[in-house]
Structures are given as structure tokens and as C-alpha cells.
Chain A
């Protein structure tokens, strides 16, 4: 009897100790993200290292993501990939945790510029520009203006993929008319609206080009698209069309920064912190960046980058192009209101 009791107690203590000694139980990090924006290998390595799983849920429209967040549905996610504009806008509703308090060992590697852009409530992830992607084999006229996506040349008519974003789509429409992408001028906005409305009949899909490519694979039949700079690789990868080219039109572009935000609806899990840290390990960061071909916000990663990577102009546009780009800034309610209405109008356009 005493022996079994002893064994029992040893077993219990042993299990408890094991439990206590173990790091936190295997957890799942639910990551609300663009598709093909983070490499699978990152998740695999993370799981290997920590035992935590990362469950990725996609979105392909920022407005939808925002609606999820503002409607309280963000409680389903641990990490959400946000652009700075949306992040800051939504933070007005106090939707996110303050990330400055999170103990991240690899925070030091993150570029200052990018951290400033993300502010308190986001950890930088990537940055980039807005531009026009086109298939070289189909394109006949050199693309150098945003107007060419609003009024595509014959070879692209019916093969245009356009974003319908209340900020980004309006921005490029404003740029097309030579206006500032974040203009609040009603006349300019109306002009942009007109462009968007006129474009509708030539648009094949308002689905994001990359999602479209993922859905249609080699039978992807678009040849001109408004895209984010970091999407070129995905586009080519999934469409199996090697001839996609990225160009920033002469009118200029916007420079965006993507951050990782943590919904306020529940406490930050240990796994989430570990994930954030993991992503910012320079080796991981650069591996990820070069895998999915995004412009990393991790300076430490840049130091480890390949020449190919650093030489890609879509990722790292020349200075003169960047001179014509504008960073995102907050809009007034009225301007935002107007932009939202513009989208309603375009959507309801027959």
C-alpha cells in the first residue's frame, strides 16, 4: 500500500512539475491577414520552436476587415494585419491593445520610421506603395499614368482588376487627375468619383487581384490591376503568369505601412507575444520577406537581405519616385464621409 501511494504521489507531483516546468500550453494564434502575405515556413518554424499553432484567416478588403473589427467580431482574432490609416482610425474606437507595453525582445530591430507610422497600437510588418500591375505580354502601351487604369487601352478592357477601397481607390483616382491622394477638396473628389464611375464598365472584377489569381490560377484572365507593391510575387505565383510587371505611375503614389494590431476584446496571449517576437527575428523576418516578397520593416532583416531582394524596384523604388509619394494621413470626417459615399455610388452604378 504505501508503495502505490508513493508511486501515485510521485506521479502527481511529477505531472504537476512537468506542467509547471513546461512553458505555456500549446496555443493557437489566430491571425487575421491578407492571403499570401506571410510565408508558411514562418508558421511551421514557429510551431516547431514554440509548439504554438498559427491559424491564418484571410481578408481581401480592408473595409471588410474594419467592419469586422468595429462590429465586435474582432474578438475572434489575436493578431490583425492593419494598415496605419485603418489602425489609427479604428483606434478612435479603442479597438486595440497598446503594444508598447508588450515585452518584445526583437523590438530593437524594427525600423524607427515604421514604428512611428504604426504608432502605439501596432507592430510594423511591411511597407510599400500603390501601383499598376500589368501583363507585359498583353500590354501594348507603356504604362505611366493612373489614367491608364481608369481608361484602359483596348487590350485591357474587360481585364481590369480594381480595388474598391474608400481611401486607396479614391487616392489613385485623385492622383490620376493630378491631385493629392488625400485631398479633401469636394470638386477634386467629385472628379475622382466620376473616374471611378466611368471605369466600372471596363472593370472585370473588384476582387483583389491576388485573391482573383489565387481563385483562378492559370486561367486568370486579368491583365491590368491596381495592386499593392508587395503583391507581385503572389500574383505571379498563383496565376503562373511570369510576365506581370509593377509600375508606379508618374503622378505618384501613396506609401503605406502595415502593422500588426491586437484586438482589445481579449487579453494578449503568451503565444501571440511569442509570435510577434518570432516574426521580428531578423533571420525569420528576411526569410519571410524574401519568401513572400514584401518590403520588410525590420532593419535587422535588411542587413541579411539578398541583392536580388534589395535591387527589386517594386520593393525599393528609387528616390525620385518616393519623392512623389505621400504617406497616409488622417482625413476629416467630412472627407471620409464623402469617400464612403463615393463607394456607394460606384457600387450602385449600373
Chain B
């Protein structure tokens, strides 16, 4: 799922959850405050109602007391019937009450009853003509008085009774009942008798609570209910009154204040309470919703802008850069945030991968792939600009020896060092001619390197470059503390002359390099057309060899070796010949070297040895041959650890005396100081065979090497024998020197390539042991040689 979607799925639920929780808590907290507030308000209102009752009661009682204490009241009540009382006192009482009503509008009707229930005075200001009515309370009080066993006791409590009643309509009124006597002081009635006692009944307007009730109604509508519980009438002193407040909050609110008169109850219905809380609920929901939306939008936008967009941008750039060319659009970002980190890491990675893709990890040079690309480009360039580009194909000789002898770490170090050296040597050129030196130098594989030189006017620069590289190996190649006998062969092709396709150029360079190798180590060679031919030749020969081996088309020729003194046959050198059609026209010197390259030489060598053993046996048995057999083996056998074993196996298989076998190894292949080579030489020698250095004088065997090699024979190369015919009066013939050298090291000498009498005589004069050459005999078939042996034996027998 895409990040942006995932963000949605994560963000929204979390925000919703958190904000909802927060809203719930907030709501609860505020709800508590609101409910407390309402409860407090209602309690206040209830308290006001309570105090209104008490207030009105006390005021009423006070007024009654004044009213009945007036002169008019006393005069009237002492003589209620007379006209005069009616005329003056009653009228005055009316006035007095009216005046009281002005200031205390709750007063309504005052009636004074005798204990017999007779009304002596009655005025109802709401209806002046109304008839007096005795209330239940009053009647009950009168009954109590009359029934009281001890009226005195009852009357000693002069507290009036007040009673509050609420009717169905919610109208509440106060009434007061008070004992009175016109014959006694108001505060001391206890000795009054039934005759003189009156009961005053005051009925107030049912406007108690009116103001408060309407205020409650206007504020709370029908949500708050005021009820009143009338107490069972008891006359207690209000001084002792204790009003208790009970507030109960459950789903609704109930406030109850109880006093002497009963209880005032204010109830807020659960519905109304909910209504009060509704705005809060709505606000909470609305605010929460808005917050969720806003927060979600804001966070989303921020995440999008700060995180997702940069990432998407980066992805787009990366994708774009893939098409345009690796990393072309991406730049290093400096913003020090995660996206910049990602971008920069990716660039680093790209660079690294690019480097890996394009460069050889070991040496840091270009790899085959990128070199190939560079080559393609420079060829195009050369064609376009009408300049030349040169490809130098470099192969390191004897590198494998280093690996085998010193180990791969040494070998790797060598390669790295060579890479460095290459770059260094080319730097001056490259500054002038090529792209940077790194780009021009490549390691193609193993020990194969290549150099690309561009923008050349001609091939001279290539030549110079090759020379400089050659120079690196003049004194061996130093790595760490070792100097290795490693050389380079360089094949050079010039584009566009030698080709315009990379493959062709490379192939031609390879051919040129092979040619250089052919011409001797540490060489360079420019490609020429005939190299192509030479390459072809190589391919043919390689194929021919394979075919010959597979089809067993080799046979041996025998070259007799004569003793110099009596020209008797000392031994015979076996030479390989083939009937293989592919190899027709090519001599052993050509195909042997190719066989060595392919490793086929081992098979061939062993075949030669075996065939030689067979021939030797036959010759010995049939012809009485008693000379030695000289067998050419490839110097590669000296690196072949199995060779000694194979040879031993052959000796075991055939009854040939090792002392009769001479193994010939070409001198040139023994140039390096190789301990393995020496060990193998010694192993061979240990078998009992004789060892000969073939084509001696053409190589660079040093005196110490000669001393260390366990060789027995030196075979002087034909070129030195040919030299005998040439007049070299100012110096000694090389052949002389070689002979003296051989004498020094007590080595047997065989001179090769004697082609005329002069040479023969000279050689004989030198006192060389053996000699061979076309003058004496050409290489013979087995039949011919066996005939020669038989003949020579016969001749010797006659003498």
C-alpha cells in the first residue's frame, strides 16, 4: 500500500481516537462544572424560597401583634357589638390593616375568632364583603386549646403557628394562627380563660413564591419543578429552626430545604438537565469534529509536503535519471534531513555501483565493459574528427608463475602495482591526447590489460606509449619487496585503420599481441594484415593438433647423433612428424608452441616419450642399438608436477634404462629463476635420465643457472654452427666460447645443424663430443634408421 494511503489509514483513526478521548474527558469535566453550577443556583433559589417563607411568616406575625395591640383593637374586642365600635374602632382597624397591606401586600384576610368559633372581626382586603371562614388549622388549634388538660401550659408557649400550603396550581400561601386576649398582655396569656381568649387567623395571599417561581419559570421553563411539603403543624420557635439543605444530583437535580414549616423542594428533571447540557454536547461534538478535520488535514498536508513530496520527487528524479543516464539528474542535497540523506546515500550508491560496473575492483582501472564503451566512442570520435585512436592490448607473461610461486595476494599486489604504473606512465600522454588516464586504462581480465589513446594524429604516440610500458619491465617488476620476472607483450591496433568495430580492433590487437609474444617476450607489435593471417594460422594449427591427437596422426622421425671422433652413432634424437592434413605445411616448431599454449603438449610429449621407448626397445632388440635416445620435451613439463610421475610410470612400463634417455629442453624456456623448475629438474635427474639444454646459446642462461641446473649436455644451436662459415676474424666464434663454457661446467656438448664439411671439421677440431646435422644425416623414418643402425653395426663388426 502506498505511503500516502497508509498515512491516511493510520492517521485518521489515531486522531479520531485521541481527540474523541480528549473530548470525552473535557466534556465530563465541563459537565461536572455545569451541573455544580446549576445545583448551586437551584440551591440558592431554594434558599430564597425558604427565607421568603420565614420572612413572610415573621413579618405577618409582627404585624398581627401590632394590629391587635392597638387601642382600637383592644377597644373593639372589648365591645365588638356596639355601634360606636363599628363606627370608630372597626373603621380604624380597617384602616390599620389597609395601611399594613400597603407595605406588606401579601396580607389578605385577618379574622378574630372566639373559642366558640364566632368571628368578631373579619376583613379580607381582596373581598371586603366576604364572610369569615374558619380554617382547619384554626379549628384544630381551638380544639387543642379546649381539649388541653393544661391550657396554661399550652398558652405559655406564645409562639404563633404558621403553616404554608401549596395547592395544585402551585400557588402557595401562608397562614398564621395566634392566641390573643383583650384582657391580657400579648406576651403573657397563660392565665387567660376561655372567655377572654380569641384566636387570630391570618390568611395571606397565595403569592408566596410568586416572584421566585416566575423567575424560575422564566429561566428554566418547565424544567424545574417547585413543590412544597407542608409539615405537620407544630409550634416551635423559629429561633431554634434549622433549615437543612439536601442536594441530590443523579440524572436530575433535587434540592430540598426543610424547615419548621415543612420543606421546599426544587427538582430539575433529567430531561431539562440534558437540555442544559445539550449545547455543551453539541459544542463538544462540533469542536471535536472540526479539530479532527483540521488536525487531519493539517497533519496530512504537512506530512505530504515535508515527507511524501520530497520522497516522490526523489523517486521521480531517480526514475528519470535511469532513462537519461545514471544519476544525471540527481544532485547532492544539503538540507540535512532524512530525505537529503536518502538522496545522497543513493547518489553514493549509484556512484559506487557505477564504479563497480565500470571499474575493475582490484586495480581501479576500467573494466572490460566500460573500456569497450570508451573504445566505441573514441572510434566514432576518430572517424568524425579524422584523427586516430590506438588500442594497446597488453598481456603479462609469467604472471601465472608469480601466482603459483608467491600466492594470489602477491599476484594481486602485482596487478595493482602494474595498474598504477600503467596510469603513471600514460599520464603525460593523456593530458595531451586522451580523456583522463583512468578512462584510458583498463584491466580486461586476469593479466590482460588494455590502453586507449585518442585524438592521435598518427601512431607515434602509441609506439611511444608501448615503449614506456616495456621500460617498466626492464629490470623485472618490483612488488612489495619482491622483484618478479614478469614481462609484457603488447599488441597495438590503430583505429580506424585497423578496424572500426570494437570486436575487430580487439581481435586484431590480440593477434598483434600474440605476434609480439612469438617474437620473444617483452615485446610489442603493431597489427599488420599478415597478423590476421598468422591468427588464422594459429587457429588452423590448434585445430590440426587436436585432430592429430584425437586421430593419432603423429609419427616419429629419427635424427642420428654421431660421435665426433669416429662418426659412429652415439644416439638418436626423435622428432615428431604428423600426417594430419591440417598441419601439412607447418613444422613442429610452429605447432609445438601452439600445443604448449593449449596444454596439448603434455599429451604429445608423453606420446613421443612412449613411442620413443617402443622404438628404442625395438631398435635395441632387433638392431642391437646401444645408443641413447634424445627426446624433446616442452619446458612446460618442468612446471607440470605430474610429469615425473608419468615418466616414472613409463619407465616402469617399458624396460628402458633411464641412463639411455636424454631429455632435451630448450634453453630459452629456462630463463627464470624458478625453484619449482629446479626441483622438477632435480626430480627428473633423480630418475636417472640425462638432461640436455637444447638450442644453447640462444637464451640468456646465466652462469649461476648453469651451475644450478642439473644438466648433463649442452646442444649448441645451429645458428652458432652456421657462424663457422662466416668470417669473424676480430673475435672468437661463439661456438668456441660455448665449448669452453661447457668444458668449464663439465658438460657434454652436442653441436647441431652441421651442414657442410667445414663446419664438421671445425666442430671436430674443437673436440666436441657429438654432432648432428643434415650433412651427416637427415631425419629418417624408423625403417631407414633401423637400416642405418644395422649397417653401421655391420661396418663396425668388420673393422
Contact = CB atoms under 8 A, between A and B. Distances in A.
A92 B98 contact: no
Contacts of A89: 83-84, 87-88
B129 A67 contact: no
A190 interface: yes
Contacts of A348: 98, 101, 125-126, 128
Contact of B129 (A66, A330, A341): A341
Contacts of B125: 344-345, 348
Contact of B84 (A90, A338, A341, A343): A90
Contacts of B81: 333
A210 B472 CA distance: 154
A190 B83 CA distance: 21
A257 B45 CA distance: 60
Contact of A344 (B82, B84, B89, B98): B98
A221 B129 CA distance: 35
A336 B95 CA distance: 15
A337 B90 contact: yes
B118 to A, nearest CB: 16
B88 A70 contact: yes
B123 interface: yes
Between B71, B82, B94, the greatest number of chain A beta carbons within 10 A of the residue's beta carbon is seen for B94
A14 interface: no
B152 to A, nearest CB: 34
Interface of A is mostly: helix
A155 interface: no
Contacts of A340: 86, 90-91, 94
A190 B89 CA distance: 23
Given A67-B88, A89-B83, A338 B98 contact: no
B92 interface: yes
A160 interface: no
A336 B88 contact: no
Given A70-B89, A89-B87, A93-B88, A338 B129 contact: yes
Given A345-B128, A345-B129, A67 B92 contact: yes
A345 B84 CA distance: 22
Interface string B58-80: 00000000000001100000000
A341 B95 CA distance: 10
A347 interface: yes
B128 A92 contact: no
Nearest to A86: B87
Interface string A318-350: 000000000000101100111011111101100
Contacts of B89: 70
Interface in B86-131: 86-92, 94-95, 97-98, 101, 123, 125-129
A92 to B, nearest CB: 4
Interface in B471-521: none
A336 B92 contact: no
Interface string A93-134: 100000000000000000000000000000000000000000
Contact of A92 (B83, B92, B101): B83
A64 to B, nearest CB: 9
A3 interface: no
B84 A71 contact: no
A175 to B, nearest CB: 21
A348 B95 CA distance: 11
B71 A67 contact: no
A4 B595 CA distance: 203
B505 to A, nearest CB: 130
21 contacts: A66-B88, A67-B91, A70-B87, A70-B89, A71-B92, A89-B84, A89-B87, A90-B84, A92-B82, A92-B84, A166-B91, A330-B83, A333-B83, A336-B87, A337-B86, A340-B91, A344-B97, A345-B127, A345-B128, A345-B129, A348-B101
Contacts of B83: 89, 92, 330, 332-333, 336
B94 A70 contact: no
A297 B89 CA distance: 31
A344 B97 CA distance: 9
B650 to A, nearest CB: 156
Contacts of A190: 129
A72 interface: yes
Nearest to B72: A71
Contact of B94 (A71, A72, A193, A341): A341
Contacts of B71: 71-72
B791 to A, nearest CB: 182
A67 B129 CA distance: 22
Between A63, A166, A336, A341, the greatest number of chain B beta carbons within 10 A of the residue's beta carbon is seen for A341
Contacts of B92: 67, 70-71
A71 B127 CA distance: 27
Contacts of A63: 91, 95
Contacts of B82: 92, 333
Contacts of A72: 71
Contact of A93 (B84, B123, B126, B128): B84
A333 B86 contact: yes
A344 B128 contact: yes
B84 A336 contact: no
Interface string A173-209: 0000000000000000010010000000000000000
Contacts of A166: 91
Nearest to B95: A67
Between B71, B86, B94, the greatest number of chain A beta carbons within 10 A of the residue's beta carbon is seen for B86
A343 B87 CA distance: 13
- In the A-B complex, the 7 residue pairs with the closest CB atoms: A70-B88, A341-B128, A92-B84, A345-B128, A333-B86, A93-B84, A89-B87
Nearest to A333: B86
B123 A336 contact: no
A76 to B, nearest CB: 16
B126 A343 contact: no
A104 B285 CA distance: 102
B86 A336 contact: yes
Between B72, B83, B89, B127, the greatest number of chain A beta carbons within 10 A of the residue's beta carbon is seen for B83
Interface string B118-149: 00000101111100000000000000000000
B88 A90 contact: yes
B84 to A, nearest CB: 4
A318 to B, nearest CB: 34
A330 B123 CA distance: 23
B129 A90 contact: no
Given A67-B92, A71-B72, A348-B98, A341 B87 contact: no
Nearest to A336: B86
Nearest to A335: B86
Contacts of B87: 66, 70, 89-90, 92, 333, 336
A90 B91 CA distance: 12
Nearest to A92: B84
Nearest to B88: A70
Nearest to B81: A333
Contacts of A93: 84, 88
A193 B129 CA distance: 10
Nearest to B125: A348
A321 to B, nearest CB: 30
Contacts of B126: 348
Interface in A44-73: 63, 66-67, 69-72
A348 B125 CA distance: 7
A333 B81 CA distance: 8
A336 B125 CA distance: 17
B599 to A, nearest CB: 141
Given A89-B84, A90-B84, A92-B82, A344 B123 contact: yes
Interface in B277-334: none
Contacts of A341: 94, 123, 128-129
A248 B94 CA distance: 32
A342 B125 CA distance: 10
Contacts of B127: 345
A61 to B, nearest CB: 11
Contacts of A330: 83
A333 B92 CA distance: 15
A330 B87 CA distance: 11
